[in-house]
Structure 1
Amino acid sequence: MNKAHYLTRTLLTCALFFTFLSKGLTQQIAVKDLTVDHLVNPFSIDNPKPRFSWKLSSSVKNTMQSGYEIRLGSTEKITKNIFWSAKQNADQSVLIPYNGPELASKTKYYWQVRVTDNHGKTSDWSPVQYFQTGLKPNDWTAKWITVAGKDTALASPYFRKEINLSKNIKSATAYVTAKGLYEAHVNGARVSDDYFTPGWTSYKDHIQYQVYDLTKSLHKGANVIAALLGDGWYKGRIGFSNQKQFYGDTRGLLLQLEVVYTDGTKEIFNTDETWKSTNGPVLASNIYDGETYDARKELTGWDKAGYEESEAWKPAAIMAKGTEKLVGMSGPSVTKHEVLKPLKIFKTPLGETVVDFGQNMVGWVVLKARGAAGTQITLSHAEVLDKAGNFYTANLRSAKQKNIYILKGVAEEVFEPHFTFQGFRYVKVEGYPGELKAEDLTAVAVYSNMKPTGTFSTSNPLLNQLQHNIQWGQKGNFVDVPTDCPQRDERLGWTGDAQAFAATAAYNMDVAAFFTKWMKDVSADQLPNGSVPFVVPNVLNARDAGSAGWADVATIIPWNMYIAYGDKGILENQYGSMKKWVDYISSVAQNNLWNSGFHFGDWLFYRPNDDNDGRAAVTDKYMIAQTFYAYSTQLLINAAHVLGKAEEVKQYSELLNKIKAAYLVEYVTPNGKPVSNTQTAYVLALQFDMLPEKMREQAAQRLVQNVRDYGTHLTTGFLGTPYLCHVLSRFGHDDVAYDLLLQEGYPSWLFPVKQGATTIWERWDGIKQDGTFQTTDMNSFNHYAYGAIGDWMYKNIVGINPVVDQPGYKYILISPKPGGKLTSASGELETVYGTVKSSWTLADGTFKLDVIIPANAKATILLPKTNKREEIGSGTYHFESKY
């Protein structure tokens, strides 16, 4: 090799190296996790100005976005047909609204984004994502169909229609909804993994529809579209007093299939009178009572082409359209999640065969069996065993929670229900042919499809089990709506429970879309006078509304979601509802005192059985009401400030001053003692700043004394518990907060844990110290309200805190507070900007903290027992200090 050739190769190698290095540096910034209105590639966006979000990924510390460019097109090859683009020099990467030309309905749009960072680097364009707009009212050409005659049968009706597609298919989209619940099929298979569609909403106001891409499921020639219906919340038993047909007495199906052929022509297939219907193997299906399925009545091939319809298949009947609106999905669908195998199969003292799945959960059991035709197998579900070890169902009240399967007598048969779910850990099996083995059963957890976002662990196994219980309580009760319990004859969206737990829920899972959907129902079911029902959707009497701490869900959850996700849109959407609620209280208040109406008060507070010395922690309900009046007013002021409503900030600030002044006159002595000397009274007064500054310290001291007077036990109920440890920490009593958290005796958070709980109990003593049960009238063992302590655990033990004036964790406060003899703790939270992590150890007087801050966010670090305060940007950090 001559020198010239060698030099040329060397220069070329160097050039390639620097090109690679330059490319690597350029790609240090990237975008990921694109969403539209909190959803990934959503199919039914009704928002005329959908909002785009993404996260940044960078290996370089202190990275901030300095600009972004979005482009949107009507085909996947966006550059060939750009419909709209936006370019801004801004660090905003969350919920950026579309502001281009009006979007067409039922149209798929494709979008991508690239960003520039503060280091002068520009990312590649992201992978192409999409969203599809929903139908406008006039786009619906399908007709509502139902069974011929009156819909009186308990059995589920099956509907089918064979269609012929004459050409090759480019795309096929189905729009489906129902009155009742539906399970849609095409060509022999379910169209999706969604369950309990169309979901539970305030049906009299709006019903959701779902959208499915069936392009790969259909083909040229004969095809079948089909569905079966269940009673669900619409027609089935719901609420109290054996209430049925609350929303209507007739189940109905609405389906519209729109096909685009490769030659550009289109064809629409609708539900109409040409569809056929009959009953099949689902003999009865009810959310509370379970499902009965007779495999001998199966309609083999009913959802496939070529099926011969018997005389039992009758033409469908057309039903009236109704006044309710049809709206696209704004929340996550209900899907399958964890699959659990039996922990053990055993005989109880009464001789019953019971399966223990080891976890109180919500969903159902998939059962395999072989046996003679007509063999009936019954699965009964329970949360706990009684003191003697027997199957216990008294706390279910009238809910049967039974699935009955009747075999058709072929080879192995597999059963799982369609339109019901159970809350259980234990399953009693009756009538099983042969020996029941562990491989014959699996339990499937079913809940809304919320992405897990938070992890939390410490050196204390009991705390870790408590966190486990909190998470499983959320899973089991977030089944399309936030329910109070998933097992007995209730399962309602109690507003007080939801507002108490919402902040904790946002740590554990991404609940932005879940609560966005549910808050629309809060607005829809809000009474004309502004009062808010006890449950939403409201299946109780209209007068069952307006309780302090329950109805305040109208203000509390929108504000919590704004703080957790930086979602100004939920404040815009709910502001009218927030204002109506505060104005309602004002309308019934006398001299600025809310001292009228029914209130649940501090629900399920501590009440010892033999209260001879007045130890029950009874807090005056009207005093509680006054504090929530102030809190809702403050949150309305906060929302008005964010939304730029200066006049209303002024108006309600003046009202707030009057509310607090009236509280002091009515409920506090001149020496600062509340009329109810309870933990909840002090907690609410301090949490909501009801007391002047000069009175707060002594009130905090009295709270501490009250806790000590009860042997370091809490006595709070649903309204005081969420704030108890927060107030103690705020006023410098972290030691007392830890003592309460780690208390193992009744009443405490760890008492159920020590009793073997795998979820949060409704009552502090659901199972008493002697092993007996609390009242059968109201005793759920899966009820998330007291799990609200999770919010304090994340914010104080691992120290991951949002900052109010830069919500959504754009700015983060990392402020861990060790205590309770913990030697380590670690927490992660997947925020709208990326992963935040705070992990610490404490040993030999040295506190070590490891922190991760995502790109496009900043943080303040406060190390415990020091005055050290450090401002940091994105990246991974390690801190040490003497403790």
Structure 2
Amino acid sequence: MLKVKTLRCEHFNNPIGLGCLNPRLSWHIESDNLHVIQKRFQLQVSLSAEFENLHWNHFTYSDQSILVRYEGPPLESGQRYYYRVKVWAQGAGDAEPEESAWSEPAFWEMGLLYEQDWKAKWITVRERSINKDFNARSPFATTKRFAIEGKVNKAVIYATSLGLYELNLNGQRVGDAYFTPGWTDYNDRVQVQTYDVTHLINQQHNRITATVGEGWYSGYLGWQKRKDTYGDTNAILLQMKISYEDGHTELICSDASWQETGSAILMSDIYNGEIYDARLEITEEADDKVNGQKMMQEMQFPLRHLVAQENEPVKIMNRLHPVELIHTPKGERVLNLGQNMVGWVEFKVKAPAGTVLKLIHGEVLDQEGNFYRDNIRDAAQEITYICSGNGTETYQPHFTFQGFQYVKLEGFPEGISIEDFTGVVLHSDMEPIGVFETSDAKLNQLQHNIVWGQKGNFLDVPTDCPQRDERLGWTGDAQIFARTASYNMNAASFFRKWLKDLAFNQMEDGSVPFVVPDVLKGVFADNTGRTTAAWGDAAVICPWTIYQSYGDKQILAQQYDSMKAWVDYIRIQGENEYLWDTGLQLGDWLALDSEEGSYFGATDGTLVATAYFAYSTQIVAQTAKLLNNYNDFKTYQLLHEGIKVAFVDRYFDETGRLTSNTQTAQVIALHFDLVPDQHKKKVIQELVHLIEKKHMHLDTGFVGTPYLCLVLSDNGYADVAYKLLFQNDYPSWLYQVERGATTMWEHWDSIREDGSFWSTAMNSFNHYSYGSVGDFMYRNIAGIDLIEAGYKKSRIAPKPPINLTSARGELKTPYGPLKVHWQIVKNEMQFEVDIPHNTTAEITLPCVAEVEEVQRRIMEHYPSITNPPVNIPPELAEKMGLEGKRDIFNMNEEKGLTFTLGSGNYTFQYNYEHPTRVPVHASRS
């Protein structure tokens, strides 16, 4: 039976508070048939879930089932819209398309779309207390009482702040989002959150309270200990719309009539932690006596800066139970969460009033087993709680987060146990969409580390590390990890929001800052050194990656001017428009072939810059073509061709060797298709030779590592790629696993073989960049890749490593789940694949021992395979009795059998011919 399921609006499930005027709608198709393709669809939008009166009724002949743009009448602020879909789809053996029933209805709800919709005022307190120890302003709280007269049909709050805020309505926390309104460049954009609070409204007396902390707006940011990046006055803006059953509405708005109220939070800062005095918690009645006469002050801030929430908010995503309570050699009590995590510790305690408790957070223990936090630098990462003495007390922080695995406990009574503590994990609420598992436990742990590195660093923006006095949105880190991130989680909205800030922060000349939001302005002398290749290229590579992964062409349109501006900026650097050979270049950052004490790898920084120049220019040309801008397409296509010629002239010698003889130089030249055909064999052999010289180990840094294994595999050296992947001594990915890592490290030797540390200056144990190898693992081991954007056409082509017996990969594509499971039992390959409906897949069965027999069995079990056109030699078709049928099979040199299938579930079993293994040595010619 044909069904329509999993309706989504702008990648979200039933979102409220949308700000886009033409939201896009998607759905999945379910069917028991094979080769199912949508032929037409009907999409209805109504103001009621019963669809009595249609707001928009759209019928069209199309196979589009993702991101269908709403083109109905203009949408109204605060209005909820219901939608449903039916499709006509044709599968194998169907003479005519089958008609589905209507889907279950879904909805979206608009936020406040226009400046004039706002009646609320920005408000702040008249005076702020200062915590002298940290030179931080204490959070403030403000409250409003209101009465309800009549039966409430619906109540919705629209809120934002300059700083971070939490809301409480009638003693209950409003919503489950944290660190709202999120981190944007407040000079341009401030996000607004929408909450349906109908269930929290009392029949008569009500009280709403807002608490506001400094957060990213005015708290400490960066290692320069800067404050007040966007301003020095925190404020709240709140508007509640109450709709009654009799049809009238009422607004509760923040203004000067709101009262200041007490707060037990004495200090709360992202880097430094929080100080909370539970003795200051007082009842509403007592609070009215103390603060009842302190009124709030209105202030001016542009309403035009307000935008609806664009990405998934930060939420509590996991709760971890500690694994042990340690007494270190120094006599400290240290809690071990068993996982390097980001969030905070929730605890319960019973102690006399005034007892001071401290929780100090760190990532690792030192060589002697003592608590260690020197790598945290100047971020205090400390929670101070002063007990009220009122029985058992439970606490968790408010406007701060920590990156840690270990917590030193000070001041706690002797009777505490690990059951009194819970690790609360927070990150952006992106849907997990990828699964990668193999028969190797250490490789599975590596995947675990990659995912947890993403969790810890995708907290509203893609940060470089979540623990020390940095936690900034480094563009290069995001760029090299974007594809892996898009396998693990649905990162479409996460990147869409962040890339808007990148465009806002882009300088007038087109250069892109190191970090977004850009809080490093002025850090470098004379504003020089604020951009570099690979980092600034995030402006181009990230939107392209999101388009490829989710089929979302709108992100290309959104970022197109920014993408062009970046390439145009590079073009005017130096005397040769086809080379980028000027200015500061970070190059292959943190590569192991760097000089002692240097962060810069040995690869020529201008070679790296010019290679990325070529890659970004090629992407801009492709983007221009997709957006039907053919003049730009020709311009950037010609520019790309010129860069390729200039690259060869500058960076290859007369013998066809790269002038920068490093692993990374060979890798990026090959990956960015900058090597002339006649030199490719020499360059890939030189890469293998350089790996051999390191005793089959890598020495790449941030730039070379993401593409290293992919380049080897794509050029016939998958065995070398796997040799690198499965190494477990230094330097390697599994070396970190062997040392007990639960997230990715910033350095290959963050912990050295003797147990000492690489450095204290820059040594994060939760830094996702080298987790970019996850892209290779999904593509080559699970075998999941794309041919057409959004996986409209997929490529299923695993290359089983000799030391694995099974692997399973799953990906929730925009069209539905794509699944691959292979296992080798003795010499038999058991291969199962699920292809989402309304898509096709090119499948390659690896290492087929008996080609003709496998082809015959495939034809017998899946006769509908003849629908998609693929090639088969005529003589083989005649031998198989397939004369007159479409050509369907291809073979490659590794005896991989390739063919195209439509949607459905398929199982293949065949004799597996293990690849012949020869010594890895590559001859040099």
TM-score of the aligned structures, taking structure 1 as reference length: 0.94
Q: Of residues 601, 604, 609 in structure 1, which corresponds to 2:587?
A: 601
Distance in 1 (alpha carbons) for counterparts of 2:828 and 2:569: 54
Encode CA deviations 1:726-759: one digit per residue, 9 max, x unaligned.
1101110000000010111111111111101000
State the one-letter code of the partner of 2:116.
N
Q: Of residues 92, 95, 98 in structure 1, which corresponds to 2:64?
A: 92
Distance in 1 (alpha carbons) for counterparts of 2:69 and 2:283: 49
The alignment partner of 1:211 has SS state of: strand
Distance in 1 (alpha carbons) for counterparts of 2:284 and 2:696: 65
The alignment partner of 1:310 has SS state of: helix
Q: Which residue is equivalent to 1:52?
A: 25
Q: Of residues 153, 158, 170 in structure 2, which corresponds to 1:170?
A: 153
Q: Which sections of structure 2, spanning at least 5 residues, go unmatched? A: 132-136, 848-894, 914-925
CA contact (8 A) 1:177 1:208 kept: yes
Q: CA deviation at 1:867?
A: 4.3
Q: Which residue is equivalent to 1:640?
A: 624
Q: Of residues 272, 277, 287 in structure 1, which corresponds to 2:270?
A: 287
Q: CA deviation at 1:311?
A: 3.8
Structure 1 residue 81 corresponds to structure 2 residue 85: no
State the one-letter code of the partner of 1:553.
A
Q: Which residue is equivalent to 1:125?
A: 102
Q: CA deviation at 1:121?
A: 2.1
Structure 1 residue 590 corresponds to structure 2 residue 575: yes
Q: How does 1:63-212 map to 2 (within 5 A)?
A: 63-78=36-51, 80-118=52-90, 119=94, 120-135=97-112, 136-149=114-127, 154-212=137-195
The alignment partner of 1:395 has SS state of: helix
Q: How does 1:412-491 map to 2 (within 5 A)?
A: 412-491=392-471
Distance verdict in 2 for CA 1:756–1:172, change over 3 Å: same
Q: How does 1:654-665 map to 2 (within 5 A)?
A: 654-665=638-649
CA contact (8 A) 1:558 1:571 kept: yes
Encode CA deviations 1:195-240: one digit per residue, 9 max, x unaligned.
0000001111100000011112113322112110111000100112
CA contact (8 A) 1:143 1:321 kept: no
State the Cα RMSD in Å.
Answer: 1.7
Q: Which sections of structure 1, spanning at least 5 residues, go unmatched? A: 1-27
Distance in 2 (alpha carbons) for counterparts of 1:546 and 1:595: 14
Structure 1 residue 670 corresponds to structure 2 residue 654: yes
Q: CA deviation at 1:846?
A: 2.5
Q: Which residue is equivalent to 1:18?
A: none
CA contact (8 A) 1:38 1:513 kept: yes
Distance in 1 (alpha carbons) for counterparts of 2:366 and 2:231: 39
Q: CA deviation at 1:300?
A: 3.0
Q: Which residue is equivalent to 2:14?
A: 41
Q: CA deviation at 1:310?
A: 2.0
Q: Which residue is equivalent to 1:310?
A: 290
Q: Which residue is equivalent to 2:871?
A: none
**476-485 or 126-135, which deviates more:** 126-135
Q: CA deviation at 1:283?
A: 0.4
Encode CA deviations 1:485-522: one digit per residue, 9 max, x unaligned.
00000000000000000000011111111111111111
Distance verdict in 2 for CA 1:588–1:151, change over 3 Å: farther
Q: How does 1:252-271 map to 2 (within 5 A)?
A: 252-271=235-254
Q: Which residue is equivalent to 1:401?
A: 381
Distance in 2 (alpha carbons) for counterparts of 1:344 and 1:531: 49
Q: Of residues 800, 814, 817 in structure 1, which corresponds to 2:784?
A: 800
Q: Which residue is equivalent to 2:198?
A: 215
Q: Which residue is equivalent to 1:819?
A: 801
Distance verdict in 2 for CA 1:615–1:697, change over 3 Å: farther
Q: CA deviation at 1:61?
A: 1.7
Distance in 2 (alpha carbons) for counterparts of 1:861 and 1:447: 36
The alignment partner of 2:199 has SS state of: coil
The alignment partner of 1:593 has SS state of: coil
Q: Which residue is equivalent to 1:14?
A: none
Q: Of residues 826, 829, 854 in structure 1, which corresponds to 2:836?
A: 854
The alignment partner of 2:615 has SS state of: helix
Percent of aligned positions with the same letter in both sequences?
45
Q: How does 1:338-417 map to 2 (within 5 A)?
A: 338-417=318-397
CA contact (8 A) 1:739 1:820 kept: no
**36-45 or 395-404, which deviates more:** 36-45
**How many residue pairs are counted as aligned between the two chains?**
848
CA contact (8 A) 1:641 1:649 kept: yes
Distance in 2 (alpha carbons) for counterparts of 1:352 and 1:867: 59
Q: CA deviation at 1:151?
A: 7.2
Q: Which residue is equivalent to 1:61?
A: 34
Q: CA deviation at 1:66?
A: 1.5
The alignment partner of 1:338 has SS state of: strand
Distance in 2 (alpha carbons) for counterparts of 1:537 and 1:300: 40
TM-score of the aligned structures, taking structure 2 as reference length: 0.90
Q: Which residue is equivalent to 2:738?
A: 754
Q: CA deviation at 1:609?
A: 8.0
The alignment partner of 1:510 has SS state of: coil
Q: CA deviation at 1:420?
A: 0.4
Q: CA deviation at 1:617?
A: 5.4
Distance verdict in 2 for CA 1:338–1:615, change over 3 Å: closer
Q: CA deviation at 1:610?
A: 6.5
Distance in 1 (alpha carbons) for counterparts of 2:470 and 2:510: 25
Distance in 2 (alpha carbons) for counterparts of 1:826 and 1:522: 36
State the one-letter code of the partner of 1:163.
F
The alignment partner of 1:388 has SS state of: coil
Q: CA deviation at 1:113?
A: 1.0
Encode CA deviations 1:435-478: one digit per residue, 9 max, x unaligned.
22011001011000011111111111111110000000000000
Q: Which residue is equivalent to 1:22?
A: none
Structure 1 residue 837 corresponds to structure 2 residue 809: no
The alignment partner of 1:670 has SS state of: coil
CA contact (8 A) 1:151 1:250 kept: no
Q: Which runs of 4+ in 1 moved over 6 A?
A: 608-611
Distance verdict in 2 for CA 1:646–1:470, change over 3 Å: same
Encode CA deviations 1:777-835: one digit per residue, 9 max, x unaligned.
000000000000000000001100111xx211111110000114111111111111111
State the one-letter code of the partner of 1:199.
G
Distance in 2 (alpha carbons) for counterparts of 1:174 and 1:753: 46
Distance in 1 (alpha carbons) for counterparts of 2:423 and 2:174: 23
